[in-house]
A and B are shown apart, each in its own frame.
Chain A
Amino acid sequence: MSESIYYFLQQIANGLTIGSTYALIAIGYTMVYGIIGMINFAHGEVYMIGTYVAFIALAGLSMLGIDNPFLLIGIALAVSIVVASAYGFSIERVAYRPLRSSKRLIALISAIGMSIFLQNYIRLAQGSRDIAMPSMIKGGFLFGSPEGSHIMISYMQVIIMVTTVLCMVGLTLFITRSRMGRACRACAQDIGMTNLLGINSNNVIAVTFIIGASLAAVAGMLLGLYYGVVNPYIGFIAGLKAFTAAVLGGIGSIPGAMLGGLILGVSESLTGGYLTAEYKDVVAFSLLILILLFMPQGILGKPEVEKI
């Protein structure tokens, strides 16, 4: 293979890594939109909180003398999922449920308020500086000749991609096979009718928020380990990118969120690799505008039918 193919594949691998995490966060936006038709702008902050909790758990566990990296990561992941889910559940209970019957704009403002509140609360509790964490998993796979052209994929990148695939498969099984998953799909179709048929839609909505928050916590933990830093502001830009991914793929559609995340990640990485890193956000968001102009429902979204 020639050098330029190796380079292309390297950039694709980098793009898929970052795209996977966008997809994980985007699920939270798209599921909530699919069911209650509102955009949960506080979702990026749940991702940020997930990273903080994972860091705190990792630091605490290593102080207790646990040094097996897989055990450490496993426990920290569990703690982070539980705490982030509690946040996801509480956000819905406190900021959205009381407003559910009011206009959409009011819930949206409540979401933005929640986002600002969480960001500043973490800033006060944890300080505004970057908190760093040494890399726990070093090294990677090398394809090609180490001296000449090659592709280098770090173990951490592999872990990110594999975990994302596992989460996506798990989520798809849950939505298509389980009772609760069926209830979720029913709520997405017609929430009033679902209530009439004896399904408690409040529970379904709470479960949706918990799933979204858990996946955001997984993304937070993975990216925290990959980059090794966290600060209270990471939720904003990550949330914006994930929201873009959700819209790109078709908001409300779960496979769409996955696809949108990957497209966004790869397009950013290719722009950084072939044009210049300065323009990667420009290209990513131009892509979004183009897709919205020509396919307003997104790539995999269904055209909105006005319900009478």
Chain B
Amino acid sequence: MKSIVKKTLIGMSVSAALMGTSLAQADIKIALAGPVSGPVAQYGDMQFIGAEMAIEQINKKGGVNGEKLVGIKYDDACDPKQAVAVANKIVNDDIKFVVGHLCSSSTQPATDIYEDEGIVMVTAASTNPDITLQGYQLIFRTIGLDSLQGPVAGRFVADSIKPKRMAVIHDKQQYGEGIATAVKKTVEESGVDVVMFEGITAGDKDFSALVAKLKRNNVDFVYYGGYHPELGLILRQSAELGLDAQFMGPEGVGNKDISAIAGEASEGLLVTLPPSFELDPKNKGLVDAFEKKNQDPSGPFVMPAYAAVQVMADSMKATGSTDAEEVAEYMHKASFTTPIGDVKYDEKGDLTSFNFVVYNWHADGTKSPAK
């Protein structure tokens, strides 16, 4: 009997001690949610280095309202199930600010949890329009929407390429199918003939049946909605099986790994990407800071992630509060000067303006603006 009492007492004092530490931390914690592992982890890196740089620079200038920002990484592996688990963990860890998630399919299920639990979330990468259509007050982005990106790609195809027989392929996921549908709609309005509209299975490795079908339909232009692991293999197998067509994809395919997978076949691929913020002369100092740490500032999500942290920090400073609702209310009203330009939000939490630019991708992993 005595020992049970003793154990209970020890247990109670331990849990009291644990609670004490969580109360004692005065730092403002920001959760950085995105893929640390999984097939698209390189996009996660872009987001993490951008957000961490912002946190570091804000802390160097004295932090926010006298307190330091602390970034904590959470790995959702771009898996919707794991994203929900991560969101619940963030709630349990009593964090009120989130940068993330990355993949639209992960962001979507997590937003419900954040909105209900009073957590401000800013995604630097999720471009699916549905995410902000639910009338949320606490959900924002620092990137444009597929509904903007799709028409940019579609107009470019209709005006500059003028394909005779076009195919639109997607990976059946929220991001890929969403953007592919938007592209199809835009080009069809301009009178381009879309002869194939088909989904593939993400994670698949063999696309020889699809390539043979594209060849049979005499397709001369292919738009792919999805990520680079699949498009890389489609490009590679198209080159091997002698398909002579021009390919184009969204920013989800625009990173160096596609050149590693497809090799020479990635030369001349067209990609819509956010503009190269790192080339903006105003960001010179920031680019130098990245290069000093041996980090690459040219990834499409690096600067948006920096901006996401900055927007939240500026709002905390302006309101003098770390209350999620107050901060969000201020974000809806104010305008911010960030490395991605002037940021202003509409009532849905979307940016009022954001540009996408068409680039030519090269086999060495670099890009140049397309004419």
Contacts and interface: CB of A to CB of B under 8 A. Distances in A.
B42 interface: yes
B198 A278 contact: yes
Interface residues of B, number: 32
Interface in A3-38: 3, 7, 10-11, 14-15, 17-18
Interface in B1-49: 37-39, 41-42
B261 to A, nearest CB: 4
B257 A156 contact: no
A18 B198 CA distance: 21
Interface string A118-135: 000001000011101011
A210 B201 CA distance: 33
Given A123-B37, A272-B213, A129 B198 contact: no
Contact of A140 (B199, B203, B209, B240): B240
Contacts of B205: 223, 227, 229, 234
A11 B201 contact: no
Given A123-B37, A228-B236, A17 B201 contact: no
Contacts of A233: 39, 203
A277 B199 CA distance: 7
A10 B216 CA distance: 10
B263 A135 contact: yes
B208 A229 contact: no
A135 B236 contact: yes
A121 B187 CA distance: 47
B19 to A, nearest CB: 33
A152 B209 contact: no
B60 to A, nearest CB: 31
Given A227-B206, A281-B201, A128 B172 contact: no
A138 interface: yes
A269 interface: yes
Contacts of B210: 272, 277
A154 B172 CA distance: 29
A69 to B, nearest CB: 15
Given A154-B241, A281-B201, A269 B41 contact: no
Given A130-B257, A229-B229, A277-B201, A269 B240 contact: no
Nearest to B213: A273
Contacts of A227: 205-206, 233, 236
Nearest to A3: B216
Given A229-B232, A272-B209, A128 B39 contact: yes
B66 interface: no
B318 interface: no
B260 interface: yes
B212 A7 contact: yes
B201 A128 contact: no
B203 to A, nearest CB: 7
Contacts of B281: none
Nearest to B229: A130
A237 interface: yes
Contacts of B206: 14, 18, 227, 268
Contacts of A271: 209
A57 B204 CA distance: 25
22 contacts: A7-B216, A15-B209, A128-B38, A128-B39, A129-B41, A130-B39, A130-B229, A132-B232, A154-B241, A227-B206, A227-B236, A228-B233, A228-B263, A229-B205, A271-B209, A277-B199, A277-B200, A277-B201, A277-B204, A278-B172, A278-B199, A278-B200
The 3 closest A-B pairs by CB, nearest first: A272-B209, A14-B208, A132-B260
Interface of A: 3, 7, 10-11, 14-15, 17-18, 123, 128-130, 132, 134-135, 138, 140, 142, 152, 154, 156, 223, 227-229, 231, 233-234, 237, 268-273, 276-278, 280-281
